[in-house]
């Protein structure tokens, strides 16, 4: 059970325009995280803009985006992320279930290429240790432009924020 109540649309007509925008950007759904965030409408809208930007408005390809998001969920022990993204988002990006399951032990999987491995090493370093070793960062350079490295970094940071907020407030994200 969530540690904060959820804002119910019917009880807050003043939030109707915001809720409509959230629903529009989220495939018609008002998921629990937004119902909690609507206690602070400005934060709810900033969250929506941030998540939308890192998911849909970057130069990162969909496979990299999805494996990074799922790996953040795995490292932070937030099972919902895997359940929510596989296969709903991953299949659209051409990722198989086997590739997604390989993310639990990606260092030993032959299903991931060098580019994906570099992104996953970076994800693990940022998520677990915060400080990224030079050697891990250097692995990104052959595979990603500077723009993509910045976008990858913000994507990882955003989903670390996302999983931490879900866990701290004990929100079932559905």
Residue 1 lies in a domain: no
Residues 107 and 47 in one domain: no
Q: What is the pTM of this model?
A: 0.93
135 lies in the same domain as 97: yes
Residue 173, pLDDT > 80, answer no
- Residue 136 is part of which domain span? 62-168
Cα gap 12→9, rounded to integer Å: 5
- Residue 66 shares a structural domain with residue 117: yes
Q: Pull the structure tokens for residue 48.
A: 């929506």
CATH number of the domain encompassing residue 121: 1.20.1290.10
Supply the pLDDT for residue 139. Answer: 98
Judgement on whether residues 102 and 39 belong to the same structural domain of the protein = no
Do 118 and 159 lie in a common domain? yes
Q: Tell me if residue 121 falls in helix, strand or coil.
A: helix
pLDDT, tens digit, 9 for 90 and up, residues 130-171: 999 999 999 999 999 999 999 999 999 999 999 999 999 999
Q: Residue 173 domain-assigned?
A: no
Query: 């709903």: which residue's tokens?
Result: 88
Count up the domains in the chain and report the number: 2
CA distance 54 to 42: 18
Residue 27 is encoded by which pair of tokens? 């495939």
CB-based contact 158:123 (threshold 8 Å): no
Please check whether residues 71 and 109 belong to one and the same domain.
Answer: yes
As a dihedral over the C-alpha atoms of residue 155, residue 105, residue 132, residue 54, rounded to 10 degrees, the angle is 0
Same domain, 31 and 86: no
Residues 68 and 119 in one domain: yes
């Amino acid at each position: 059970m969530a540690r904060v109540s959820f804002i119910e649309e019917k009880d807050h007509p003043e939030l109707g325009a915001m809720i409509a925008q959230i629903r529009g950007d989220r495939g018609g759904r008002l998921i629990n995280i937004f119902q909690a965030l609507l206690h602070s409408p400005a934060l709810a809208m900033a969250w929506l803009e941030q998540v939308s930007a890192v998911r849909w408005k970057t130069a990162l390809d969909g496979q990299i985006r999805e494996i990074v998001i799922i790996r953040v969920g795995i490292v932070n022990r937030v099972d919902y992320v895997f359940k929510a993204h596989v296969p709903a988002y991953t299949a659209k990006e051409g990722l198989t279930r086997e590739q997604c399951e390989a993310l639990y032990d990606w260092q030993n999987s032959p299903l991931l290429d060098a580019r994906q491995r570099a992104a996953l090493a970076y994800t693990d370093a940022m998520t677990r240790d915060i400080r990224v070793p030079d050697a891990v960062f250097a692995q990104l350079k052959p595979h990603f432009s500077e723009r993509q490295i910045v976008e990858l970094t913000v994507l990882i940071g955003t989903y670390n924020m996302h999983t931490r907020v879900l866990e701290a407030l004990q929100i079932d994200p559905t």
